[in-house]
Amino acid sequence: MNLFCSSILGLISATALWLLPPCNLVSFAQLKANSLITTHDHPSASEDARTVYVRGIPVITFRGSDLATKSQQFITLLHQALQEGWSADTIQPAWEQGRYVIKFGDRTQWVLDQSMTFPESTQNPAQDTLMITNRLRRLLGGAEPVSTIANAPNDPADNIIARVVRVISGIASWYGPGFHGNRSASGEIFDQNALTAAHLTLPFGTRVRVTNMSNGQSVVVRINDRGPFTGNRVIDISKAAAQRIGMTGAGVAPVKLEVLGRPN
C-alpha cells in the first residue's frame, strides 16, 4: 500500500473501511487527471454542445449527435497523457491526409473534424487547430506556443470567412479581476484570459467581432455571459479581448459589433 492510500485510510474509522475500493485500483495520477479535466454541456445555436475544460479553461467544443462519444474519447486521451507524463512539447498541429490533426509525439494523434472547434472559434479551421494545440501545450505542461502547422495547405478555400448577420454600435466595457474563476451565466467558468464576452440578449456561443472605433483594432469573442447591466453599454468583454483592441487603460471604448454567422 502506498503512502497516499495509507493517509486516506488513516483518516477513516475502522468500521467504514469496507466502503473503500482497493487503493491499488486508483492511482494518485488518475485522481489528479480526473480533477483537472471537466466538461460543460450547453446549447449552441440549434444544437447541443459540450466543451471540455482543462484546469478550468475551455479547450475544445464538440457538437452533433455523437458529441458524447467523441468528447469521452478526447478526455480518455488527455487522461492518458497526464497519467503517463507525456511531454507537452510533443503536442504539435499538423495537416495530414486532407485533415487537421493534433499530434502527441509519435504516440498518437487527434483528428479534428467539422463537429469540433476551439471554444472562441473564428470559423477558421487552421486557427482553431493552432489555438486548441497551444492551449493543450500550456495547460498540460507549460510548453511555449507554436505558430505554424506542419504541411498546412495554402488553399484560400480553407480559410472560412464568417458572414456578418447584424451590426450594433455603442460603448463597450471590459471585466476580469474579481470575476476570474467564477461561474458565468452560461454555466462556464469565467476565464479573463479567454476571448469571451457578456451580452444581454445574444445566444450563448454567438461569435461577435468587436472593433474599437478609436483605433480600428478588432477581436472576435464568444458570448458566454450576460451583461453589462449599467451605463447603457452594449457589450462587456474579457480582459484578454480588451487587451487585443487596446481599451484596458480607458476601461470603455466606442465599438462596432458584427454578429457573425456561418458562411452561406
pLDDT band at 45 (very low <50, low <70, confident <90, very high): low
Domains and CATH numbers, the chain: 29-158 (no CATH), 163-261 (2.40.40.10)
pLDDT of residue 3 exceeding 70: no
- Ranges 17-31, 32-46, 81-95, most confident: 81-95
- Greater confidence (156 vs 154) lies with 154
What integer is the mean pLDDT of 22-27? Answer: 42
Q: Is 71 exposed, middle or buried (0-12, 13-18, 19+ CB in 10 A)?
A: buried
- Ranking 13-17, 95-99, 140-144, 159-163 by mean pLDDT, the lowest is 13-17
CB atoms within 10 A of CB 164: 13
Query: Mean pLDDT for the chain?
Result: 82
What pLDDT does residue 130 have?
A: 87
Helix (H, G, I), strand (E, B), or coil: what is residue 160? coil
Residues 23, 2: Cα–Cα separation, whole Å? 8
Q: Grid cell 470567412 — which residue? A: 161
pLDDT in tens, 216-240: 888 889 999 999 998 789 999 999 8
Please enumerate, as own/partner, the contacts of 227-231 that have beta carbons within 8 Å and a separation of 24 or more.
Answer: 227/175, 227/185, 227/198, 227/199, 227/200, 228/173, 228/198, 228/200, 229/200, 231/171, 231/173
Rounded Cα gap, residues 32 and 27, in angstroms: 9
Residue 5's Cβ-count burial label (10 Å; 0-12, 13-18, 19+) is: middle
Collapsing DSSP to helix, strand or coil, 176 comes out as strand
Confidence band for 25, pLDDT divided at 50, 70 and 90:
very low
Q: Among 9-23, 42-56, 187-201, 209-223, where is mean pLDDT lowest?
A: 9-23
**What amino acid is encoded at 206 in this protein?**
T
Q: Are 71 and 41 in contact (CB under 8 A)?
A: no
Quick: pLDDT tens for 253-262: 999 999 987 5
Collapsing DSSP states into helix, strand and coil, what is residue 34?
helix
Higher pLDDT pick, 53 / 154: 53
